[in-house]
With several copies, the nearest count.
Chain A
Amino acid sequence: MSEEERAFQERIDRGEKIEPTDWMPEGYRKTLIRQIGQHAHSEIVGQLPEGNWITRAPTLERKVILLAKVQDEAGHGLYLYCAAETLGVSRDELIELLHAGKMKYSSIFNYPTLTWADIGAVGWLVDGAAIMNQVPLQRTSFGPYSRAMVRICKEESFHQRQGFDIMMKMAGGTPEQHRMAQDALNRFWYPSLMMFGPSDKESVHSAQSMSWKIKINTNDELRQKFVDQTVPQAEYLGLTVPDDQLKWNQEKNGYDFSEPDWSEFFEVLKGNGPCNKERLDARIKAWEDGAWVRDGLMAHADKSTVARTAAE
Chain B
Amino acid sequence: MIQESDLIASDILYEWLLRRGDTALILGHRVSEWCGHAPVLEEDIALANIALDLIGQARLWLGYAGEVEDKGRGENELAFLRDAWDFRNVLLAEQPNGDFGKTLMRQFLIDAWQDALLSALKTSANERIAEIAVKAGKEVTYHLDRSSDLVIRLGDGTQESHRRMQAALDALWPYAGEMFSADAVDEAMAAAGLAPNPQTLRPGWDETVGEVFKQATLTQPQSDFAHKGGLTGRHSEHLGHLLSEMQFLQRAYPGAAW
Assess A/B contact in the complex (Cβ within 8 A): yes
- Once A114-B84, A293-B39 are accepted as A-B contacts, the answer to whether A56 and B158 lie under 8 Å apart by CB is no
Residues A47 and B44 in contact, CB atoms below 8 Å apart: yes
Residues A274 and B157 in contact, CB atoms below 8 Å apart: no
Residues A78 and B45 in contact, CB atoms below 8 Å apart: yes
Residues B41 and A114 in contact, CB atoms below 8 Å apart: no
A196 at the interface (CB under 8 A from B): no
Residues A286 and B36 in contact, CB atoms below 8 Å apart: yes
A260 at the interface (CB under 8 A from B): no
Once bound together, how far apart are the Cα atoms of A77 and B45, in whole Å? 10
> For residue A69, which residue of chain B has the nearest CB?
B48
Complex interface: chain B residues within 8 A of A282 (CB): 36-37
Once bound together, how far apart are the Cα atoms of A23 and B59, in whole Å? 53
Residues B237 and A114 in contact, CB atoms below 8 Å apart: yes
A67 at the interface (CB under 8 A from B): yes
Once bound together, how far apart are the Cα atoms of A309 and B75, in whole Å? 53
Binds B, one of A99-107, A220-228, A245-253, A295-303: A295-303
Restricting to B147-163, which residues have a CB under 8 Å from any CB of A?
A: 152-154, 156-158, 160-162
B146 at the interface (CB under 8 A from A): no
Chain B nearest CB: distance from A247 CB in Å? 27
Residues B41 and A58 in contact, CB atoms below 8 Å apart: no
Complex interface: chain B residues within 8 A of A275 (CB): 236-237
B189 at the interface (CB under 8 A from A): no
Binds B, one of A11-19, A137-145, A169-177, A205-213: A169-177
Complex interface: chain B residues within 8 A of A59 (CB): 76, 80, 258
Residues A285 and B37 in contact, CB atoms below 8 Å apart: yes
The tally of CB-CB contacts under 8 A between chains A and B is: 185
Chain A nearest CB: distance from B45 CB in Å? 5
Complex interface: chain A residues within 8 A of B160 (CB): 292, 295-296
Residues A114 and B85 in contact, CB atoms below 8 Å apart: yes
A267 at the interface (CB under 8 A from B): yes
Determine which of A61, A187, A290 lies in contact with B39 in the assembled complex, contact meaning CB atoms within 8 Å.
Answer: A290
Residues A63 and B35 in contact, CB atoms below 8 Å apart: no
Once bound together, how far apart are the Cα atoms of A50 and B44, in whole Å? 13
Once bound together, how far apart are the Cα atoms of A3 and B234, in whole Å? 57
A272 at the interface (CB under 8 A from B): yes
Binds A, one of B12-20, B109-117, B238-246: B238-246
Complex interface: chain A residues within 8 A of B44 (CB): 44, 47, 71, 74
- Once A56-B249, A71-B45, A300-B154 are accepted as A-B contacts, the answer to whether A174 and B52 lie under 8 Å apart by CB is no
Q: Which of A63, A113, A173 lies at the interface centre, i.e. has the most chain B CB atoms within 10 A of its CB?
A: A63
Complex interface: chain B residues within 8 A of A56 (CB): 240, 244-246, 248-249
Complex interface: chain A residues within 8 A of B250 (CB): 58
Residues B225 and A267 in contact, CB atoms below 8 Å apart: yes
Chain A nearest CB: distance from B65 CB in Å? 13
Complex interface: chain A residues within 8 A of B237 (CB): 49, 52, 112-114, 275, 278
- Once A58-B249, A290-B39, A296-B158 are accepted as A-B contacts, the answer to whether A277 and B257 lie under 8 Å apart by CB is no
- Once A169-B257, A274-B236, A289-B100 are accepted as A-B contacts, the answer to whether A74 and B45 lie under 8 Å apart by CB is yes
A187-207 interface code vs B (CB 8 A; 1 in, 0 out): 100000000000000000000
Once bound together, how far apart are the Cα atoms of A274 and B240, in whole Å? 15
Once bound together, how far apart are the Cα atoms of A32 and B187, in whole Å? 52
Once bound together, how far apart are the Cα atoms of A114 and B255, in whole Å? 21
Complex interface: chain B residues within 8 A of A20 (CB): none
Residues B58 and A272 in contact, CB atoms below 8 Å apart: no
Residues B39 and A55 in contact, CB atoms below 8 Å apart: no
- By a beta-carbon cutoff of 8 Å, the part of chain B in contact with chain A is 25, 29, 32-33, 35-45, 48-49, 51-52, 55-56, 58-59, 62, 75-76, 79-80, 83-85, 99-101, 152-154, 156-158, 160-162, 164, 171, 174, 225, 227, 229, 234-237, 240, 244-246, 248-250, 253, 255-258
User: Could you list 12 further interchain pairs (A-B, Cβ under 8 angstroms) beyond the known A54-B35, A116-B249, A300-B157?
Assistant: A51-B35, A56-B244, A56-B249, A58-B258, A60-B58, A64-B55, A64-B56, A114-B237, A115-B84, A275-B237, A290-B39, A293-B43
